[in-house]
Amino acid sequence: MDQIYLDHNATTPVDPEVVDAMLPYLSHTFGNASSLHYFGREAKAALERAREEVAAFISCDPGELYFTSGGTESDNMAVLGAAFQRRDRRRHAVYGATEHHAVMEACEYLVHRHGFTADAAPVDSEGFVSPRRLARLVTDQTAVVSIMHANNETGTIQDLKPLVQAAHEKGAWFHTDAVQSCGKIEINVRDLGLELLSLTGHKIYGPKGTGALFIRDGIKLTPLMYGGSHEKKRRPGTENVAGAVGLAKALEIARRRMEEDWIRLSDLADFFIDRVLTTIPHTYLNGTRMGRIPQVCNISFTGVEGESILLALDLEGVACSSGSACTSGATEPSHVLVAMGKDRVVAQGAIRFSLGRSTNREQLDYVLAKLPPIIERLRSLSPLYQERMKS
């Protein structure tokens, strides 16, 4: 069997339709969108069409959407830009305990370099943030609250509305990292009441290096970069026209396929999770069975290091991950699973299988045939597992 890719939460292949849409802007329609001549005007028109299309997907005005290099930049722009803008009267930030490092480390930077304070909102065993517990953390000193929409490791989807309300009651701005949800579920920034939202292209079969940040009209952010008037001086730098076009096309395809993808991936994931949990003892699903983006199957194999499982599966032609791609190689257990109260032994044995449009039943059957003997062999070599089974 060919190589099997089950790491779609890390990145996705670029859809051929997206490649076709981008190609003109990588070849003959190459102008700088800031140039006044014909070539520049042509590029500018394509950029603004893409802006309108992406904005329509999240139900915002095109003037509220700013193109970036991806989710990390968008998260940094939102958290740091909001904090610096409001620092004269508000020097506190709140973030979810299971956030992506692009948000967590931005908050840590505020604390260690700029005299802010920050609190991590706890989550329950399925990864949900309680509005009541969040409300206890937000004060009239809080500049920004950042809670991820769908978790990148477990797929847990937060109910944002009550969380946004808790933030707004104290005058805090609310940002959500929608990198893993945008293109997979419907998003309406007006209905949710958001000030800020981050999204990216490469998680939804679009190009890498392309993303966007929604900034609600009337919200001012302190820029993080300087050097030009691009993106209304919010994000200077020559615009990636091809990337913006590719992002817009990826979202157009996502809208067409959303229901179909959700149903098919839900069925495949349910099949895979049930088989793993019933055929391999001492395994646990991390996160919730309901209320998650369906393609994520985060499963812990007690007594085995996740990295060992990854290497063994890779030798069998199966690609997956032990958590966020941004923390690959980390020896510590996932901060997401630890925040959910998982035992460190359980957390260190976690593998994230994330399915995609190319995933089929035959591939999962292959993985299900290879996985049990791998786990059995690794457990036989693990003093930790043997000791745990005796206790």
297 is catalytic: no
Provide the β-strand partners of residue 200.
211
Which element (helix H / strand E) includes 141? Answer: none
Place of tokens 């809080």: 142
Q: Please name the residue ranges forming H helices in 280-317.
A: 306-315
Spell out the residues 6+ positions from residue 97 whose beta carbon is closer than 8 angstroms to its own: 120, 121, 122, 123, 335, 339
Q: Please name the residue ranges forming H helices in 116-210.
A: 131-137, 160-168, 189-192
* Main-chain dihedrals φ then ψ at residue 276, nearest 5 degrees: -65, -45
Distance CA 67, CA 52 (A): 12
Output the six-digit token pair for 203: 């998680």
Among residues 105, 91, 72, 94, which one has the least CA distance to residue 174?
A: 94
Which element (helix H / strand E) includes 346? Answer: helix 344-348
Choosing from 60, 107, 182, 326, the catalytic residue is 326
Residue 371: C-alpha distances to residues 234, 338, 365 (Å): 48, 24, 10
Among residues 200, 306, 320, which one has the least CA distance to residue 250?
A: 200
Active site residue ranges: 326
